[in-house]
Amino acid sequence: MPKMTDNPSPVNQQDVTPEADKAQKNTAPVRNRYADTMNKPHRKLPKPLRIGLTVLILAGLIGGGVYVVKKTGQTDTESTIQTAVSSRGYLETYVEGNGYTAAKTRAELGKDIKGKVLTISAHTGDTVKAGQVLMTIDPSATRKELEQAQTALNEAQKSVSQANKTLSELVVTAPFTGRLLPPGEVTSESTSQTSSGESTTTPSSPEEVKIQKGDDVASGTVLGTLVDDTNMRLELYYSYAYIDKLKVGQTASISIPQTMGSVTGTVEKIDRIEKISNEGGRLFRATVTFRNPGTLKAGMDATATIAADGLNIAPTGSGKLMYSRETKLTVKAAGKATANCAPSYQKFSAGQTILALSSEEATTALQTAQQLVQTRQETVKELNERIAKCTVVSPIDGMVLSMNATEGQELLGDTPPCVVADTDNIVINADISMSDVASVQAGQSASITMNLGTDTLTFTGTVQSVGLEANKNNNSQGSMPTFPAVISVDPVEGQTLRPDFSVEYRITTAQSDDCIMVPSTAVVNTNDGVAVFAQPAEGQTFENTLPIPEGSDVPDGFVLVPVQIGISDSQNTEIVSGLDEGVTVFLAGPQDQYDQNNMGGSAIAVG
């Protein structure tokens, strides 16, 4: 609990002999737990801490004992009655403890850097400026680590690319606008030209692929061939006698025996190859294109006559119709169908989905690869930062607290070789005991004492912050937890404070100037509230009084006056209202008992 000032009691205590003893007291008194309440709001403590404080207080009460005001019976020796007079004075409550000075801003430099120290430009105790070079370290070892880390990052990025590719391959889309033909359907690819100019088609039976939602689809599954059947192509061979007469763009008349019809097309390309016919003739190849009226398909026989220089030039043989464009669609990554596959012979627009698959394995592989890339990117970034930090510069204006390195020394990257701190801004790191932490708040004033051996330095400060969690390093068995607090230090004229000096602090938690006060042993607790036994002066009366409980040991001439109390120190309690200065009060409890147990602010229960 808050420590109390050792101010001498401001009241006159008197010994009074009663004319007669009072009747035997019926109920044993207990201490008033409200009389120690201070005149300021407290921060709400965590429930475990409140329970701990309650246990400690109960233990103190049991250990200290409870004073009982009662009559012990008639004796031949008269007992001494103690009184005091209310007076004005100063009351203060405070918390004391130990702490140490620390720089508000402190930087550990060179940690985690490996390599040989090349130069040292500052030493312990030197004053430095922000940006000043303090030392340089050879970054060769770190650069080797960076090369290895960059290689590992490149490999991880390749894994991400591969995983993304696999996921993209789970969706089969149309690369161009066309119709999906099932496997086995005649296509341009399945049409082959014979050396004689005649063409044959490999016989096959179309078999439509049917894939339902939820089906497992293996990699390599052929869905069919997407063909652009809007336009058709026809390759034919002509005699070399007409090589100079046929030109690209000339009109051609295409005849299709299977439909007994003809269409008009255009010479698209002339290949000046030399194919020898079975009759020994030299042939070249011409490609004719035309628009499909909608009834033609690949593999149909056709021939084309080209009008040139008044001649209708015919080929040496017929050919097979081909689609203008086609591609085989194959599943490249295994997965589970998320919907039914589109049916064969359906027309698709470019980019339209034909089959979509899902794969937990592929998704997991991508996530793993991405996480690995992120980790290795952080490693590369950290190593680049280390290399940059091989030129060690001070980040602040301050003083070199330590330079634990020499030129030529090999640093292992385990401890910081240099520490810099702003010694112009010193704070106190204080430990507040669990029993006192409820009384300490930011903004409270503090006095600090530093023992300098032959001299003592005293200065002031203000509580800056109080931690909500107990310190982690003081939980040894049997020790009371402490809470960290930071006290900012006011400027000390003619003095320079340095970090890591032990200090003693005293934080004022409450104070009251020019207040009316009485000894704490005069304050009693009744069923109607806090009160004081007061003796009215001649001709004086009190506006409010309470009935004195039957059997109380109170001298004649004293009345029970209700009061409002404020703060208390180790001896006295503030009277906020109900009692004026100069009033004689009866001390209901022995002072030595309070002094022994340091229970300032407690009261006696009566009634």
DSSP-assigned letters across all residues of 382-424: HHHHHHHTTEEE-SSSEEEEEE---TTPEEESSS-SEEEE-TT
* Residues 304 and 403 grouped into a single domain: no
Query: What 3-state DSSP class applies to 265?
Result: strand
Q: How confident is the model at residue 543 (pLDDT cuts 50, 70, 90)?
A: confident
Query: What per-residue confidence (pLDDT) applies to 241?
Result: 94
Q: Pairing between strand 114-120 and 133-137?
A: antiparallel
- Is 35 inside any structural domain? no
* Residues 268 and 377 grouped into a single domain: no
Q: Count of CB atoms within 10 A of residue 171's CB?
A: 15
Which alpha helices (H) appear in 15-78, and where do they start and end? 47-64
* Residues 528 and 465 grouped into a single domain: no
* Residues 215 and 279 grouped into a single domain: yes
* Residues 151 and 132 grouped into a single domain: no
CB neighbour class for 62 (10 Å; exposed up to 12, middle 13-18, buried from 19): exposed
Do 518 and 11 touch, CB atoms closer than 8 A?
yes
Planar angle of CA 133, 138, 141, nearest 5 degrees: 140
Distance CA 517, CA 436 (A): 24
**Mean pLDDT of all residues in 28-50:** 40
Query: Side chain identity at 102, as an amino acid letter?
Result: A
* Residues 349 and 376 grouped into a single domain: no
> What domain count does the chain have?
5
Backbone angles phi, psi at 53, to 5 degrees: -65, -40
**CATH number of domain containing 531:** 2.40.420.20
**CATH number of domain containing 501:** 2.40.30.170
* Residues 334 and 289 grouped into a single domain: yes
- Is 189 inside any structural domain? no
**Mean pLDDT of all residues in 144-150:** 94
- Is 95 inside any structural domain? no
Distance CA 404, CA 123 (A): 9
Percentage with pLDDT > 90 across the chain = 59
Q: Which two tokens stand for residue 428?
A: 């106190």
Sign of CA dihedral 321, 325, 326, 327: positive
Position 144 pLDDT exceeds 60: yes
Q: Which two tokens stand for residue 257?
A: 């025996």
Query: What 3-state DSSP class applies to 49?
Result: helix
Do 559 and 534 touch, CB atoms closer than 8 A?
yes
* Residues 472 and 539 grouped into a single domain: no
Tens of pLDDT, residue by residue over 361-420, are 999 999 999 999 999 999 999 999 989 889 999 999 999 999 999 999 998 888 899 999
Give the CB-side neighbour count of residue 256, counting CA atoms within 13 A.
Answer: 22
* Residues 479 and 534 grouped into a single domain: no
* Residues 225 and 337 grouped into a single domain: yes
Tens of pLDDT, residue by residue over 73-113, are 334 434 578 899 999 999 988 899 999 999 989 999 988 88
* Residues 296 and 240 grouped into a single domain: yes
CB neighbour class for 604 (10 Å; exposed up to 12, middle 13-18, buried from 19): buried
Do 69 and 540 touch, CB atoms closer than 8 A?
no
The parent domain of residue 316 ranges over: 178-184+210-355
Position 512 pLDDT exceeds 60: yes
Distance CA 483, CA 507 (A): 14
Query: What per-residue confidence (pLDDT) applies to 230?
Result: 95
**Mean pLDDT of all residues in 171-199:** 76
**CATH number of domain containing 120:** 2.40.50.100
- Is 97 inside any structural domain? no
Q: Which of 512, 546, 564 is the C-terminal boundary of a domain?
A: 512
Query: What per-residue confidence (pLDDT) applies to 589?
Result: 65
- Is 45 inside any structural domain? no
* Residues 218 and 131 grouped into a single domain: no
Do 81 and 535 touch, CB atoms closer than 8 A?
no
Q: pTM of the predicted model, to two decimals?
A: 0.50
Distance CA 542, CA 544 (A): 6
Do 501 and 100 touch, CB atoms closer than 8 A?
yes
- Is 477 inside any structural domain? yes
Angle between the 140-168 and 360-388 helix axes, to the nearest 10 degrees? 160
Sign of CA dihedral 581, 584, 588, 591: positive
Tens of pLDDT, residue by residue over 453-476, are 888 889 999 999 999 988 876 555
Q: Which two tokens stand for residue 209?
A: 């692929």
- Is 229 inside any structural domain? yes
- DSSP lists the bridge partners of residue 519 as 572
Give residues with Cβ within 8 angstroms of 365, minimum separation 6.
Answer: 159, 163, 166
Q: What is the DSSP letter of 11?
A: S
Q: Count of CB atoms within 10 A of residue 306's CB?
A: 24
Q: What is the DSSP letter of 8?
A: P
Tens of pLDDT, residue by residue over 229-288, are 999 999 999 999 999 999 999 999 999 999 999 999 999 999 999 999 999 999 999 999
- Is 73 inside any structural domain? no
- What is the pLDDT of the chain when averaged over all its residues? 82
